[in-house]
Structure 1
Amino acid sequence: MAEEKLKTKDRVLLDLLDHVGSHVSGDQLAQDLDISRESVWKAVKSLQKDGHTIVSKKKTGYAYLYSDHVDEMVTSHYLKSLSEGKQAFDKIQITEGRTSTQTDAKEFLAMHPGVNPTLFAARSLAGAYGRRGRAFFAPRDHGLYFSLSLPITNKEEVVASLLTTSAADVIANVLEESFPGVTVDLKWVNDLIVDRHKVGGLITEAVFDMETQQYTALVLGIGLNVLPSDFPEDITQKAGTVLSEKTDGVDLNFLLARLILALVQMGEDYADGRYLDDYRKRSLLIDKTVSVQVGQDVVAGEVQGVSKQGGLEVKTADGDVQTLYAGEVTKVKLLENLNL
């Protein structure tokens, strides 16, 4: 979007974002943008009304701190600044609310195949879904609900189970780095667990080009409940949030940008299995007795580990070890509340 077409308040926002946490005088903003001091004041008031926390100090100016919601302009700014302008995106779209960002991403890619990642996110979702089509509760402005596409440019082999486990591990690490004191465990293959409650998960899907008969992109759909929220009664014993108490100053845009860049990097180097050791350390299932739904069958036994390709190694009652690359853990002995 060309700067001359931006609204005044958006131009003010971009200027303030260049100095996050630091005060910029009204005179300086007016001079930078070639507008009046009154226009600056009106723009700041409008931005504050939109949910951006901007503080003012007499004779010092305005300082942008954070936003109470995901915002396309703010997230785009952080993606650019954190990557030093080196990471390009074919599309970044953040909306008020959608039925499914996963559907949005796949429909866009079907019409606009590209060479760079795309990001589709929303403040809330009406039709969020995970593996096996299960609904995901996505309360407005309390979490991150997004789909990230990773183009397949070199026709490299895709190992879905390894990709999913790697992505889960990357997300866990970014969350722990962002929120000291939080510990994220993982339930194979894609559930993120904090304090024995599911706080998020991911789904991995592929886009197939019928004309070339090749896969052109991977789409990671991710739902994370970050801030405390009231869950529907039927899931309140199982679902949780990354933060257990209301915390001021949580910047969802900065967190989203960090996650996106870490996942893009993961997409480039996951194939060598570098994330598996940490995934195994975070696993709640190793040495536990589990039941795994695989299609119409149930495999029960003790989890021996996670294979080099992200499969779950289960030792059954007859002593055989089966490596599962698909399925859902429906029961974990001694961890009943993880029956998700």
Structure 2
Amino acid sequence: MSVKNDVLHMLEQNKGKNISGQELAEKLGVSRTAVWKAINLLKEDGFMIEGVSNKGYSLAVSSDLLSSEGIRLYLNDQYKEIPIKVYKSINSTNTEAKLMIMNNAVHGTVILSEEQLSGKGRMGRNFYSPSESGIYMSVILKPKLNMSDSVLITTAAAVAVSLAIEKVTGVITQIKWVNDIYLNDKKICGILTEAVTDMESGTINSVVVGIGLNVKTESFPENIEYAAGSILKMDDNKFIRNQLSAEIINNVLSILNDIPNRKFIEIYKERSMILGERVRYCKDNQWFEGYAQDIDSNGALIVFHDDGHKEILNSGEITVRRSL
């Protein structure tokens, strides 16, 4: 790591505590001038670092900028060394992830950004990604799964995110089939999974799991403000985004092992916001209505029509038609 990253790592480990420039220099094996330069660079990046004479430097407890050093503090031991790249701004973390795959990025590589200029959602939509209020992340996976199991990665990722939110914040969320996370009937997270295939063998080479989570976003564009929400208010400092990012990474990487045995499907069903509800779905350019009765072991939605006809949906979008 660079001196700048090394200094940040130590400040993150001792958040809210003062560390003298001399102590930093000795522990890192660099000069005090190098430490001073690193501190100034971190301040320029927006980190809330206070310097007090005869006491040293401290990273404010309320500092909430994303950093690889801050995220690593909360990763499970087996994931401590995964590559993590954090950007101030980027067009799309999923797009960057696919470029990194072309350059032989390894399993578990994570890309995050404080904002996305062209965040990608499903069906070609954009995902609103304002600066310093959400978690916009892509995880590169090299799953050793067959095709039927691979389609469950999105379902598993939804469970991973929902469980991470609950563990870090205490907030219990619901899942809207197939890949959206809801809180108080408002969407707070979207998941976009993109496969990179080997053209010669026709097998899946890599999978990019893109996660867009509104953590403290308070203002949304007019076209989505009625439907979008966040976990917390902007001034709520119950937790930091680095911690939640790490827990999501822990869960996404761990839950891959559960895909063949489908253990996560029961959690997915327990947190479903649509089972037992009347839903509307589109198939072959036609709209139909029925009751969402179940989600099978392959993540497919089972819908019963009023005439008794059963439809099994493996993909697509639905809307919930709750009675008033």
Using the size of structure 2 for normalisation, the TM-score is 0.89
Distance 1:214 1:228, change over 3 A: closer
Q: Secondary structure at the match of 1:323?
A: strand
Mean CA deviation greater in 207-216 or 12-21: 12-21
The equivalent of 1:338 in structure 2 is none
How big is the shift at 1:71?
2.4
C-alpha contact 2:149 2:259 (8 A) present in aligned 1: no
The equivalent of 2:67 in structure 1 is 71
Deviations 1:301-340 (A, max 9, x none): 01112111111111112112222111101343248xxxxx
Query: Does 2:100 correspond to 1:108?
Result: yes
The equivalent of 2:134 in structure 1 is 143
Query: Does 2:181 correspond to 1:185?
Result: no
Deviations 1:190-220 (A, max 9, x none): 1111111101110122111113332111211
Query: Does 2:164 correspond to 1:174?
Result: yes
Matches within 5 A, 1:128-277: 128-152=119-143, 154-180=144-170, 182-248=171-237, 250-277=239-266
Query: Does 2:26 correspond to 1:28?
Result: no
Using the size of structure 1 for normalisation, the TM-score is 0.85
Deviations 1:8-54 (A, max 9, x none): x4332222234345443343223223455566456445434432234
Deviations 1:274-295 (A, max 9, x none): 1122211211111111101234
The equivalent of 2:275 in structure 1 is 286
Distance 1:136 1:327, change over 3 A: same
Report the Cα distance in structure 1 between the residues aligned to 2:238 and 2:42, rounded to whole angstroms.
Answer: 16
Report the Cα distance in structure 2 between the residues aligned to 1:334 and 1:27, rounded to whole angstroms.
Answer: 67
Query: Does 2:317 correspond to 1:328?
Result: yes
How big is the shift at 1:99?
1.6
Give the length in aligned residue pairs: 323
Query: Does 2:74 correspond to 1:84?
Result: no
1:97 to 67, 86, 89: 89
Report the Cα distance in structure 2 between the residues aligned to 1:111 and 1:302, rounded to whole angstroms.
Answer: 46
Report the Cα distance in structure 1 between the residues aligned to 2:47 and 2:283, rounded to whole angstroms.
Answer: 46
Report the Cα distance in structure 1 between the residues aligned to 2:209 and 2:65, rounded to whole angstroms.
Answer: 21
Report the Cα distance in structure 1 between the residues aligned to 2:157 and 2:88, rounded to whole angstroms.
Answer: 26
C-alpha contact 2:141 2:206 (8 A) present in aligned 1: yes
Q: Which runs of 5+ in 1 are unaligned?
A: 336-340
Q: Which amino acid aligns with 1:201?
A: G
Q: Secondary structure at the match of 2:65?
A: coil
Mean CA deviation greater in 31-40 or 259-268: 31-40
Q: Secondary structure at the match of 1:204?
A: strand
C-alpha contact 1:150 1:267 (8 A) present in aligned 2: no
C-alpha contact 2:169 2:239 (8 A) present in aligned 1: no
Q: Percent identity?
A: 31
How big is the shift at 1:111?
3.9
- Tell me how large the CA RMSD over aligned residues is: 2.6
Q: Secondary structure at the match of 2:152?
A: helix
Q: Secondary structure at the match of 1:159?
A: helix
C-alpha contact 1:67 1:253 (8 A) present in aligned 2: no
Report the Cα distance in structure 2 between the residues aligned to 1:113 and 1:177, rounded to whole angstroms.
Answer: 29
